[in-house]
Structure 1
Amino acid sequence: MTSRTNLILAARLELYSVRVRYSKIAVLQYHHETDKLRPWNWPSTLESRVQPCALRDYRMSHQMLGPCCLCPMAETTQPDFVEAPIYMALVGPCAGEYVASCARDRCGYFVVLDRLYDRTIPIQVYPRREFGERIPPRVTHVSEEVWFQQAICQSRPLKRSFAMLDVGVPEIMNPPAPTRSRSTTTRRPTDSELLRRLDLQVWPGITDTEFQKLFVECECGLVTTRRSFEEHECIIDISDDE
């Protein structure tokens, strides 16, 4: 590529990554055939959409893949579709939230799934995988691989009898349909995380419910966090008049 072509490509990548990150109407993904961004349909059941924390399990049991990152546009040697892993961010301003991003953090694709879950976005009921159908290998983010390697180094080796049985090797065949649905809950953000969200440069803000959980207004008109309200000295005398 010429230097001019590289500059144009870099500008498009920056533009697309910003659109993906700030989109509030859909989870956007790269579409190779049109060379444009298109919505990724959020998985749903007949009753409700799948929670972010359950998307990985849904991918195993249904014919669904995560969104495509921007790598096919960034590198011509890449396949037409490069799946972005879905995982919980462990560090940074989005720590504790489920995101989808470039597996190697190369193309700039990044979207916070937790913040789109409650919005009006395109959804789809994907067909269930057939029993015995081969499941595409799970895509992981580079941060997960680092954490996994650290966990292996810190753990004790398996006993020989268990090692010979390949304990811990993931099953590659699709399991039968479960008889009972498992409850999935999303971890509630801490007060510190809510306060940090108020001053973020990317996706700042909290919901009204989170605001009421975090702050309280005194009769004197001052607003404090609920944690510091115990130390607040009200300037209004609310004692009974004698």
Structure 2
Amino acid sequence: MAGLKTIFKKIKEKCAILIDSSSSSSSSIPGWSLVSIDSGPITQDINNSQFGHSFQVNLNLRYKPSTSKQFSEPMLEWNEIIQIFKWDHGSGWRKIEEKRVNMHKEKPDSNTFSLWKSKYSNATYLTSGNQKFYQAWQKVKHTMAATQENREKVAIAELTRTGGKILATIIDTPALGIGQDNYATRRVLQFDLGIEGSTPRLTATQILELNSKGEITICCLLMPGVEEVVANDPRLEGWRNDYKVGNRP
């Protein structure tokens, strides 16, 4: 037991250099704030059973500890508006369904949020203009070849004590199945992403469409997002043409 205490003492000494010196002066309100949010690579994913995209979201988060030293979790907002349209030979396109939901609140254990759940144990740490934070954390992770749980405890302990910044990543893969049930179907997803209580937001719009023969006619993901897409939106022909000529994503 004494040996384990010595190891943890050394680890905490190494973790001391993970302190972000900017965290104490940049914000006067304890808790999490979102410094910035941006998108990473966007790819178009199409196979015989479904089509859609894979996209990455990067959240640069800052934590300022409270005087009570009670740690709190950042509240992720992964808000989606899901709209389903169907083609009717008599009346054309019509919206048959709309749902508004914070997907992280509704499905926190989804594979989409697996990287978010491990944001402490596998985080990339940032500091003011250099990589010392990140390099020190890499040493800690290797020293603790142990468990994810232990790495997470060390990270949370340092954030609780001194505050700091982490860069968390989320990868989403929204797709629509290519089956007869989805023939003559358009699905529109409107994304509004960020952290509760913080201003920076990332928006995106995904439009996926199959014609009555089950052929893909629209497959696009737009960042930032666009205004509401209505049943017979005049922009639809442009997005169909983009897919036809190979403009991606």
- TM-score normalised by L of structure 2: 0.24
- Which structure dedicates a bigger proportion of its chain to strand? 2
Using CA pairs below 8 Å that are at least 6 residues apart, which structure has the higher relative contact order?
A: 2
